[in-house]
Amino acid sequence: MADVSVQDNVEDDEEDGAGAVLTFTVAVEETGQRFDSWLTARAGTHSRSRYKALIKQGAVRVGGRTIVEPNYRVNEGDVVEVDEPAPVDANPQPEDIPLTVVFEDDDLIVIDKPAGLVVHPGPGNWTGTLVNALLHHCGDTLSGIGGVKRPGIVHRIDKDTSGLLVVAKTDAAHRGLSAQFADHGRTNALERAYMALVWGAPPSRRGTIDAPLARSLANRLKIAVVRSKESRGGKEAITHWEMKTRFGALDTDAIASLVECRLETGRTHQIRVHMAHIGHPLIGDADYGAHFKTKAQKLPEHAREVVGRFHRQALHAVLLAFEHPTTGEILRFESALPEDFAELVAAFGEI
C-alpha cells in the first residue's frame, strides 16, 4: 500500500465472523450465479470482497471439492461448505514488540519500521503489527481518529518496505499531520524520499512519472497504471526520481541502479508500480517485477546469492520531513539503509 497511503484513503477491513462450518445447498433458481455473489446473498455475514478472499484462501468447498475461483458458476443441488474464521478481538491488544523510536514527544512519535512489520491489524495479520507495538509503548495516548484498528496511523508503508513513518498521539496532531499529507507537501514542509534498487537503469539522470493508479482488473490485490483519472476510478499519482548509482553492465545495459524516489502523492504501491511501469521494477518485488528474475541468473555468483535470499522489494523510506503540528518546528529525519538492503547494494557494487 505508494508505498505510503494517507489513512483517509485506506478501506476498512472486514472483521472475521464466528468460527464454524456453514453449509448451504444451491436452489434451482440460483443455478449459474457467480460463486462469490451467490455466497454473499446466501450467507450474508460478510461483504462480497470478504467472501471472495475466503474462496481464494481455500475456505469454501463444493461437494467436498475446494473451489478457489470466485467466478465459478454454481449449479442446482451443489452442497457448499464455508469455513468461517474464528472470531477476533475487534480492539488490537498491546504487544511487547521492539520499536526503533527516532523521535517522540507528547504529540507524535516517529518510527523506523523494519521490513516485515505490518502497520495495522487486518485479515491475516490481526496481531504482531506496528499498532500492537505502539499500544504497548504509548499506552492509551494514541490518537483515536484512525479508529480502534488504526489508532494514530496517519500514513503507512508496505509490510516489506522499511523506513520512517510518523504516528499521532493526539487528535489535534493527527488532524495537523493528515492535512500535510493530504496536501502532498505542495504548500507545506512535508517531504518523503525513498531509496529503491531497481533492475536496469533509466535513460536519464532524473525524471518524473505522472501516471494515475487504480486497482488492477486482473488482481484486486494489485495496483495498475490507468489511462486517466477518469478510468476505473484512477487517482493522480506522481513520483519524482533521481538515479544515484549505476551498477555494472549486462550485455549493453546497466544491471541495476540505485534510485531516490520522492513522492508528490501517496498511493498504494506507488513507487513499485511506477518504476515497473517505466521498465525498471524493484529488485525483489514478487508482485511487479517477477518477470525480471531471469536477470539474476546472469549475475556473478556472490551477487546472485545475495539477490536469492533478499525476499522483499528493495525499498526503504530514507527521509521524512514535516511541520510539527503543535510547535510549528520543521522536523527532518533520515534513516540509513537496513542491513539486508545495504548488503544487496554492496553486492551490486562489486560487479
Q: What is the pLDDT of residue 295?
A: 83
Q: Are residues 175 and 188 in the same domain?
A: no
Of 133, 164, 182, the last residue of a domain is 182
Q: What is the pLDDT of residue 201?
A: 92
What digits encode the pLDDT tens for the residues 137-184? 998 888 776 666 678 889 989 999 999 999 999 999 999 999 999 887
What lies within 8 Å, CB to CB, of 194 at 6+ separation is 3, 161, 163, 260, 261, 262, 263, 271, 315, 316, 317, 318, 319
- Asked if residues 248 and 350 have their Cβ atoms less than 8 Å apart, the reply is no
Residues with active-site annotation? 158
Q: Are residues 129 and 26 in the same domain?
A: no
Domain of residue 78, CATH code: 3.10.290.10
Q: Are residues 102 and 141 in the same domain?
A: yes
Q: Are residues 60 and 150 in the same domain?
A: no
In angstroms, rounded to a whole number, what is the distance separating the alpha carbons of residues 191 and 188? Answer: 9
Q: What is the pLDDT of residue 11?
A: 28
What digits encode the pLDDT tens for the residues 283-300? 999 999 988 878 888 888
Angle at 219 between CA 7 and CA 114, to 5 degrees: 45
Q: DSSP letter at 28? A: G
Asked if residue 12 has pLDDT above 70, the reply is no
- The total number of structural domains that make up the chain: 3
Is residue 9 situated within a structural domain?
Answer: no
Q: Are residues 347 and 212 in the same domain?
A: yes
Asked if residue 340 has pLDDT above 90, the reply is yes
Parent domain of 318 = 183-351
- Look up the pTM and report it: 0.74
Please give the mean pLDDT across all residues of the chain.
86
Q: What torsion, rounded to 10 degrees, do the Cα atoms 179, 317, 312, 286 define?
A: 50
Residue type present at position 25? T
Q: H/E element holding 119?
A: none
Q: What is the pLDDT of residue 250?
A: 60
Is residue 194 situated within a structural domain?
Answer: yes
pLDDT band at 56 (very low <50, low <70, confident <90, very high): confident
What digits encode the pLDDT tens for the residues 205-255? 999 999 999 988 888 778 999 987 666 678 999 999 999 999 987 655 789
For β-strands 162-168 and 108-113, DSSP reports them as antiparallel
Give the pLDDT mean for 304-320.
Answer: 95
In angstroms, rounded to a whole number, what is the distance separating the alpha carbons of residues 33 and 305? Answer: 49
Domain of residue 305, CATH code: 3.30.2350.10
Give the pLDDT mean for 11-28.
Answer: 61
Residue 6's nearest CA partner among 171, 200, 177 is: 177
Q: What distances in angstroms separate CA 189 from CA 103, 104, 328, one per listed residue?
A: 17, 19, 10
Q: Are residues 195 and 123 in the same domain?
A: no
The β-bridge partners of 129 are none
Of 37, 69, 84, the last residue of a domain is 84
Is residue 308 situated within a structural domain?
Answer: yes
Is residue 3 situated within a structural domain?
Answer: no
Residues shown for the chain:
351
DSSP sequence for 217-237: SS-TTSEEE-SSTTSTT-B--
Q: At what angle do helices 301-308 and 339-349 cross, to 10 degrees?
A: 160
Of 182, 215, 245, the last residue of a domain is 182
> Which range, of 52-66, 200-214, 334-348, averages the lowest pLDDT?
52-66
